[in-house]
A and B are shown apart, each in its own frame.
Chain A
Amino acid sequence: NAGVTQTPKFQVLKTGQSMTLQCAQDMNHEYMSWYRQDPGMGLRLIHYSVGAGITDQGEVPNGYNVSRSTTEDFPLRLLSAAPSQTSVYFCASSPLVGAFTEAFFGQGTRLTVV
Chain B
Amino acid sequence: AQRVTQPEKLLSVFKGAPVELKCNYSYSGSPELFWYVQYSRQRLQLLLRHISRESIKGFTADLNKGETSFHLKKPFAQEEDSAMYYCALTGTASKLTFGTGTRLQVTL
Name A's B-contacting residues (CB within 8 A): 31, 33, 35, 40-45, 48, 50, 56, 58-59, 90, 92, 94, 97-103, 105-108
Contacts and interface: CB of A to CB of B under 8 A. Distances in A.
A42 B98 contact: yes
A98 B96 CA distance: 9
A44 B44 CA distance: 14
B86 A103 contact: no
A85 B36 CA distance: 24
A101 B98 contact: no
23 contacts: A33-B95, A41-B100, A42-B86, A42-B98, A43-B44, A43-B86, A43-B98, A48-B94, A50-B94, A56-B94, A58-B95, A59-B97, A92-B96, A98-B32, A99-B32, A99-B51, A99-B90, A100-B49, A101-B32, A101-B90, A103-B36, A105-B44, A105-B45
A100 to B, nearest CB: 7
A3 to B, nearest CB: 9
